[in-house]
Amino acid sequence: MRPIRIAIIGYGKIAADQHEPSIRGNPRLELAASSSRSGKGPKPAFTDWREMLRSVDGLEAVAITTPPKPRYEIARECLAAGLHVLLEKPPCATLSEIEDLACLADARQRTLFATWHARHNAAVPAAAQALAGQQIESMEIKWHEDVRKWHPGQTWIWDAGGFGVFDPGINALSIATAIFPGSLFVAGAKLTVPKGAQTPIAADIVLESAESCGDLACSLDWRRTEGEEWTIRTRTATGSEVLLTEGGARLFVDGTEQPVSGIGEYPDIYRRFVELIDERRSDVDVRPLRLVADCLLVGTSETVEPIDV
């Protein structure tokens, strides 16, 4: 079987670290080209993605790993050109954009895959299985990390559309929506915004669900210099505890670690992309981005002292 020829648009750090090796490691895919503003990337490397689309023969798919803002326009033209499209998270800058792309992919009968990489940890489907059909007593999400360690010098995270603490936090929401046995809603949110910034450094979110009468809490915090953690602790009505740690990499049920094995987040993303293309289907789950928007719709903001990163 001839491999699917795919190009990377927006070749940068995440593309070099994750997308390129995952594509090269998948025998069903062939990395055909790349584009980036610098023109550095797997050859042939372009600085203009439109020129790349015109120049590369037999291109069938693209992975778009630019920042969120330009993704809509790029994806729209790629789908219109008959290409299958994979999007890094978050899929677009706005909900209207990703909903429009989903309609367009449907109309063009092409695969659109809005990826949420954290969901591709092997422990995540295992946790979902452990919680399936359960009544939930409580859920406690803690996504606590040091912004200075993970985003040194990246001032764009504080700009409008930069997502702030929701940039990592949307990973937590992508896992929560994948494992929780029911729909999750935002009842309230307290956003903490540094003076001079447009995006929050911390968010305390109260969630609710028809499948739970207990506390469903999500704490996102970029101010933890010690004791960083990325955990989701869920207790069922029957007294069982399902704990995901390390951002979804490890699973504990009632204190006992569960053996899980997988091929890795990004290799699994590309395995799934090929599967979707084969099945002529799309996978566009907007719920994590929608929950972030809902936090902004119902949340309160409090301004705190400025931060340097």
Let me know: does 44 contact 31? Beta carbons within 8 Å.
no
- Regarding 155 and contact with its own copies (CB under 8 A), the answer is no
Interface with its own copies (CB under 8 A), residue total 31
Residue whose CB is less far from its own copies, 76 or 148? 76
Provide the phi-psi class of 133: left if phi over 0, else alpha when psi is between -120 and 50, else beta.
left
CB of 213 vs its own copies, minimal distance in Å? 13
Beta strand residue intervals within 145-273, DSSP E: 185-194, 202-209, 212-221, 229-236, 241-245, 250-253, 256-257
Distance CA 225, CA 228 (A): 7
Residues 201-230 that bind its own copies (CB under 8 A): 210
Residue whose CB is less far from its own copies, 72 or 270? 72
Site string for its own copies, 164-203 (x = CB under 8 A): -------------------xxxx-x---------x-----
> Catalytic residue among 69, 89, 190, 195, which?
89
- Regarding 158 and contact with its own copies (CB under 8 A), the answer is no
Residue whose CB is less far from its own copies, 47 or 183? 183
Q: Which of 290, 304, 307, 309 binds its own copies (CB under 8 A)?
A: 290
- Regarding 287 and contact with its own copies (CB under 8 A), the answer is yes
Q: Which one-letter DSSP state was computed for residue 165? A: T
What percent helix, strand, coil does the chain show, rounded to 5?
35, 30, 35
Let me know: does 32 contact 59? Beta carbons within 8 Å.
yes
Residue whose CB is less far from its own copies, 130 or 220? 220
Residues 12-71 that bind its own copies (CB under 8 A): none
Residue whose CB is less far from its own copies, 154 or 301? 301
- Regarding 160 and contact with its own copies (CB under 8 A), the answer is yes
Question: Helix H segments across 37-122?
Answer: 49-55, 68-80, 95-108
| Of residues 73, 90, 112, 104, the one with CA closest to residue 293 | 90
Distance CA 40, CA 146 (A): 30
Q: Which stretch binds its own copies (CB under 8 A): 20-28, 146-154, 263-271, 285-293?
A: 285-293
- Regarding 297 and contact with its own copies (CB under 8 A), the answer is yes
Beta strand residue intervals within 151-197, DSSP E: 185-194
- Regarding 298 and contact with its own copies (CB under 8 A), the answer is yes
Q: Which of 39, 67, 82, 161 binds its own copies (CB under 8 A)?
A: 161
Which tokens is 63 given? 């992975």
Distance CA 153, CA 150 (A): 10
Let me know: does 172 contact 141? Beta carbons within 8 Å.
yes
Provide the phi-psi class of 82: left if phi over 0, else alpha when psi is between -120 and 50, else beta.
left
Q: Residue 52: phi, psi to the nearest 5? A: -60, -45
CB of 298 vs its own copies, minimal distance in Å? 4
Task: For residue 89, indicate whether it is catalytic.
Answer: yes
Site string for its own copies, 78-107 (x = CB under 8 A): ---------------xxxxx-xx-------
Contact positions vs its own copies (CB under 8 A): 72, 76, 93-97, 99-100, 160-161, 183-186, 188, 198, 210, 287, 290-294, 296-301, 303
**Positions marked active-site:** 89
